[in-house]
Amino acid sequence: MYFNSFAFLVFFACFFTLYWSLRGTPRLVLCLAASYFFYGWWDYRFLSLIVVSTIVDYLVGLALAANQSPGVRRVLVASSVVTNLGILATFKYWDFFAESLQSALASVGLSADWPTLNLILPAGISFYTFQTLSYSIDVYCGILVPERNLLRFATFVSFFPQLVAGPIVRATEFLPQLQSDRTFRWKEFEGGFRRVLQGFFKKLVIADSIAMVADPLFRDPESFTAVNTIILVVLDAFQVYGDFSGYSDIAIGLSRMLGFRLPENFCVPYLATSPADFWHRWHITLSTWLRDYLYIPLGGSRRGHWLTYRNLSITMLLGGLWHGASWNFVIWGAIHAVLLVLHRAWVTITGPEQQPEVPIMILPPRPESTDVNAWWAAITVRLAKSAILFAVVCLAWVFFRSPTLGMAIQIISQMVPLDGFNLSLQNRIPLIKACGLVSILVLAECISQLTTLDRIVHQSPLIRSVYLASIVWMIALFGTFTGTPFIYFQF
Amino acid sequence: MLDSLIRRWLWTSDSDDGVCMDAIELSSSRSRFVWIGCTVLAFFVFVWIGDRAAARMMNRLVMSTHFRYAEIYKGELPAGLVILGNSRALHMFHPPAIQEVTQMEVANIGFNALPTVLMPAIWCDYLEHQPSPKKLIFEVTCIGRQDEPGSIARFTTFMPQSTGLSQAIRHFSHREYVASQVSHLYALNSELTWRSLMFARRSDRDWIMTETASDERIERVLELGTEPLIRSPANVDAAMQVLRIADEHQIDVVLVVAPYHPMYRKSLVELPEWIDWLQAQLGRPVLDYSAEMTDKPAFADHLHLNPPGARQLAEMLHQDGLF
């Protein structure tokens, strides 16, 4: 069941009404049942994977609380790691590694008959296994008291708004919210509704409109000239952003309507001024997960430059592989690893960059009176940095979106000769529409940097209503209602 | 309480400390329920009114353009010769070329992927708003084509102008019809709306594909196989309606299969048999020009001509006495 389907709207309307008319345990039971129904709608057989992951980590949590012996605790946490990564490895990576090994052996004249499983990839497997894994690790580290209520724990693992594509929620953030009944607050409901509409706008209006013109590039790149390819590669970057941040907005908004707070996942990522800044703004819950459960345990930046570079590289390569079982994702991760290492080396030479006072703002604070020229110069430098980084990020997305390595290389190589722009009139309209809509998104994101748009919108219910209604009208007029699945559902 | 509601609606600043329904002055749960109900209802009414108002404005904008369908409904497309069909009609029978050859006023009301099932409504609307033409050229390969997804929905733009079109969309794409009734802005969410706006200041009568197809491009198309020619009763029924309407208005109809790129035509082995079947279904002769153009540079792709090709075709049909 996709968020952008009519079935989901009916499902959520029914669920929402029932949810707020129940209290206590029945409400939790409803949450869990609805979450399993939501997931089972896609393929009920894979519910067993969530149930296994849930029970294993629940029992591991209880056992960790009951055992103080370091050896036993290590075995317990290892069993959680093996189970979760085992599920992930079997369903997601088995065929990839089997085929890669066979190819590698074949290249040196050896042959190995390693069976491939050809399993369907269960939706959201990468997300919920990471959630349960982090729970066990947190309990092992003593950061978290284990949850004794199985119903509560199972609801945390399977909470449907974020089950399939995040944000990746830590148990430390979510379990406390399940301890007591959420109360209906109008402000939360309205704020959540606004986020949901914003999410639908990003998905239906931005991402799916771009998909109409950009997706053909990743099916038949040969039909496009260099200039067309460049335009579509840039648009594709906005498609990925609109698609994924749209999903996150909907997930966060739905949760707020139910009284829950989920962590933010995006913060104007394409206005980032450095690779490190980009990863503070893009898929924040994954990058912080990787930082806390991989990069820091590897040693982080505490053991000298070379080990820091190594740790960054390992983290980003595995981060790339987390997205999908393909060399394209590994290369995508490697590109970001190289960027982060180069940036780190640069920072080591030049000293740390000045951090903006408010994390969301990338623009320097405007001076009182005199230094206006310097202020504009600072803005120009930051925008130039953002533009350069954006260009490299766009190139990296080519590997991310291409089905094969050969196609990614072809797309990049055909961008080099800057030859003609010859889209026929037939195709020009969706392209113009996509470009226009992207410029609206870019404008909105830039305005949010100059003033806090939220503050203006929040001033009056009337303004808020006009704002919300405008989003509804825009979706009706510009939305693409083809039911295109979210890109991140495949992960 | 009403006063309190209005004041709240016009200017209430929610402070960051989380003003919530429980905290505002409306004390009882009943008044809280009324407040929520009024707010939600007011919002939906506001959205509905805005939707209607904005759609009305957009519609006027669309109708002010020189796009062919806007002109049909304004009665600004009178002609002695009318062309009907899908993109093969649109890019084969180029009005400027035909006009130059025949000195006749030509209206091409064909369109890219125009579904055959919508043609009776469009043809009927044309005759309702324009004087009857002398002749209709109907490029019939559209009858053998599977409609592309969403091709019917594109015509919701002109639903307010045509009851016939509305009924056809209601019949063949009920979901789109209902959605267009719920939101009039949604009805305008179609390629035809945006394309109309592109022709705000100039006519679209000279619209034609301008490329020249390379052999490599045709070979790539052929690698994917030729498009099957389907035998759809719904399409045949729609074509029969077009013919019946023409007969009622005493308009001569010429059924024609326009040329295919020679390389593509060779692979289209089932075409002669399909034409025989169609002739039997319609009870009228179909003129087969599918293999009549052997000049490869005359084609924009495997299915469509470019301007020199369209000119050649116009001359050929004129010589054959079709125009």
Which residues of chain A make contact with B18, given a CB cutoff of 8 A? 185, 187
Mean pLDDT (whole number) for A248-274: 92
Listing DSSP states for B29-81 in one string gives HHHHHHHHHHHHHHHHHHHHHHHHHHHHHHHHHHHTS--HHHHHHHT----SE
Listing DSSP states for A395-429 in one string gives HHHHHHH-SSHHHHHHHHHTTSS-------HHHHH
CA distance B77 to chain A (A): 22
Task: Give the confidence band of A354 by pLDDT, cuts at 50, 70, 90.
Answer: low
Task: Give the confidence band of B126 by pLDDT, cuts at 50, 70, 90.
Answer: very high
Q: Choose the closest CB to B43 out of A426, A465, A478.
A: A465
pLDDT digits (tens, 9 = 90+) for B274-303: 999 999 999 999 999 999 888 889 998 889
Q: Which residue carries 């196609």 as its tokens?
A: A407
Quick check: A185 and B195 CB within 8 A? no
Mean pLDDT (whole number) for B38-62: 93
Which 8-state DSSP code applies to residue A205?
A: I
Cα–Cα distance list, B66 to A407, A424, B127, B206, B305 (Å): 42, 20, 18, 12, 23
pLDDT of A367: 59
Task: Give the confidence band of A425 by pLDDT, cuts at 50, 70, 90.
Answer: very low
SS3 for B107? strand
pLDDT of A3: 85
> Which residue among A323, A336, A343, A458 is the active-site one?
A323
pTM score, whole prediction: 0.85
pLDDT of A450: 66
pLDDT of B75: 92
Q: How confident is the prediction for chain A on average, in pLDDT?
A: 86
pLDDT digits (tens, 9 = 90+) for A46-102: 888 899 989 999 999 999 988 888 888 999 999 999 998 888 888 888 888 787 788
- pLDDT at A339 > cutoff 70: yes
Cα–Cα distance list, A65 to A171, A172, A260 (Å): 16, 16, 27
pLDDT digits (tens, 9 = 90+) for A315-336: 999 999 888 888 899 999 999 9
Instruction: Judge whether B118 and B192 are in contact, CB under 8 Å.
Output: no
Count of alpha carbons within 13 Å of B127, Cβ hemisphere only? 23
Instruction: Judge whether A397 and A278 are in contact, CB under 8 Å.
Output: no
pLDDT of B129: 93
pLDDT of A418: 64
pLDDT of A154: 94
Quick check: A187 and B185 CB within 8 A? no
CA-nearest of B199, B164, B256, B184 to B66 is B199
Instruction: Judge whether B207 and A425 are in contact, CB under 8 Å.
Output: yes
In total, chain A counts a number of residues equal to 491
Instruction: Judge whether B120 and B69 are in contact, CB under 8 Å.
Output: no
pLDDT of A370: 61
Task: Give the confidence band of B8 by pLDDT, cuts at 50, 70, 90.
Answer: low
CB pairs under 8 A between A and B: 78
Quick check: A424 and B209 CB within 8 A? yes
Query: Kind of pairing, strands B135-139 and B81-84?
Result: parallel
pLDDT of B17: 37
Which has the higher per-residue pLDDT, A226 or A340? A340
Task: Give the confidence band of A487 by pLDDT, cuts at 50, 70, 90.
Answer: confident
- pLDDT at B41 > cutoff 60: yes
CB neighbourhood size of A156 (10 A): 27
CA-nearest of A244, A206, A199 to A436 is A206
Annotation marks residue A323 as catalytic: yes
CA distance B111 to chain A (A): 11
pLDDT of A12: 94
Count of alpha carbons within 13 Å of B46, Cβ hemisphere only? 19
- pLDDT at B216 > cutoff 60: yes
- pLDDT at B178 > cutoff 60: yes
Give residues 233 to 262 of B whose Cβ lies within 8 Å of A.
none
Task: Give the confidence band of A457 by pLDDT, cuts at 50, 70, 90.
Answer: low
CA-nearest of B28, B309, B86, B77 to B205 is B77
Cα–Cα distance list, A363 to A4, A273, A367 (Å): 34, 10, 12
pLDDT digits (tens, 9 = 90+) for B52-100: 999 999 999 999 999 999 999 999 999 999 999 999 999 999 999 999 9
Which 8-state DSSP code applies to residue A117?
A: -
pLDDT of A364: 60
Q: Is B189 on the interface with A (CB under 8 A)?
A: yes
- pLDDT at B4 > cutoff 70: no
Quick check: A429 and B188 CB within 8 A? no
Quick check: B211 and A430 CB within 8 A? no
Q: Where does residue A482 fall: left (phi above 0), alpha (psi -120 to 50 degrees), or beta otherwise?
A: alpha
Q: Is A184 on the interface with B (CB under 8 A)?
A: yes
pLDDT digits (tens, 9 = 90+) for A152-197: 999 999 999 988 877 999 999 999 999 988 888 888 998 899 999 9
ipTM above 0.90, yes or no: no
Note the maximum CA span of chain B: 87
Cα–Cα distance list, B84 to A405, A476, B70, B99, B164 (Å): 45, 31, 16, 16, 17
Measure CA of the first residue to CA of the last residue in chain A; give whole Å: 16
pLDDT of B26: 45
Residue B181 Cα to chain centre, angstroms: 19
Q: Is A219 on the interface with B (CB under 8 A)?
A: no
Task: Give the confidence band of A453 by pLDDT, cuts at 50, 70, 90.
Answer: low
- pLDDT at A278 > cutoff 70: yes
